[in-house]
Amino acid sequence: MTKTKFLFIVIFGLLAVADRRVHAQVTLQCESPDLEQKDSGSVFVTPASALETARMLQAPHGASRAGKHILLVHWANGIHTYKDKPPYEQLAGVLWTYCGYNPAVGFHLIRKEDVDLFTGILLNESTGALLPGGYSVSFSPDRQSYISWDQENGMDEGIIKLYSIHGTLLWKGFSGLISQDGKSVYPDFDSVYWNNAGKLIAEYQIPDKGKFIAILTQTKNSHWRWVSRISK
């Protein structure tokens, strides 16, 4: 087999693996549909809104508000209480919002807006354990790890964090590639998702060069980095 033919097979194989996106990704999200966005001016489900009330119906043991600024989320054997902190405004104080429940993984997602940081926490329905989350969370196919997204006001790039299913932080980075000089993030990712092999895949574009794929890979020294940047 020639070297050129072997290289073609390797690249083709990596592309095939990268493109096997999990068809039914298990996610929990706090983003709101367009209708909510137009009504409130927010890209997120907002506290005490009709959309939050609708998502509370997903909670198997109930979720409700004991007043405008107190959120109650029941789990199998108890209840967690989340209290907003004044001045009760966006980009000021602390605001909590119920974002939903997914029975496939057994977690609730509660968004936390802490001054200018948009993040969240996961609540285990069975145990009541609280794990770090984000405004959006996506679980690996084997349910042994998950990624979350955070956003700081004023920053163009989001923060992606990789956790074990027990909430141990394994890696974090920007939603994009670090420039060669290390001073900026370029290019931004168009999408980030799990493939069927349990690899985290990022898609991005470079003007005049096309579309690319990067795979988050753990190196021999246990560091994580985006590698195998293959043109699609």
Give tens-digit pLDDT for 13-47. 333 344 456 656 899 999 876 544 444 456 889 99
One domain for residues 192 and 230: yes
Distance CA 189, CA 205 (A): 8
Burial of 208 (0-12, 13-18, 19+ CB in 10 A): exposed
One domain for residues 44 and 125: yes
One domain for residues 202 and 170: no
Asked which of 36-40, 91-95, 108-112, 179-183 is least confident by mean pLDDT, the reply is 36-40
Burial of 141 (0-12, 13-18, 19+ CB in 10 A): middle
One domain for residues 28 and 93: yes
156: phi then psi, degrees, rounded to nearest 5: -75, -35
Distance CA 160, CA 149 (A): 5
Query: What percent of the chain clears pLDDT 70, i.e. is strictly above it?
Result: 83
Token pair in block for residue 38: 């137009």
Does residue 116 contact residue 164 with C-beta atoms inside 8 Å? no
One domain for residues 69 and 179: no
On average, the pLDDT of the chain sits at 86
* Structure confidence at residue 38 (pLDDT): 46
* Structure confidence at residue 8 (pLDDT): 30
Does residue 81 contact residue 130 with C-beta atoms inside 8 Å? no
**pLDDT of residue 6 exceeding 60:** no
Eight-class DSSP state of 31: B
Total domains in the fold of the chain: 2
Confidence of residue 10 (pLDDT cuts 50, 70, 90): very low
One domain for residues 180 and 81: no
- Please write down the long-range contacts of 221-224, taking CB distance under 8 Å and 24 or more positions apart: 224/162, 224/170, 224/171, 224/173
Provide the residue range defining the domain that includes 225. 175-232
Helices and strands (H and E) in the chain: how many: 3, 18
* Structure confidence at residue 42 (pLDDT): 66
Residue 3 lies in a domain: no
Give tens-digit pLDDT for 181-195. 778 898 999 999 999
One domain for residues 122 and 139: yes
Give tens-digit pLDDT for 118-127. 999 999 999 9
One domain for residues 164 and 126: yes
Cis peptide before 87 (omega within 30 of 0): yes
Selected residue with higher pLDDT from 8 and 213: 213
Distance CA 223, CA 217 (A): 8
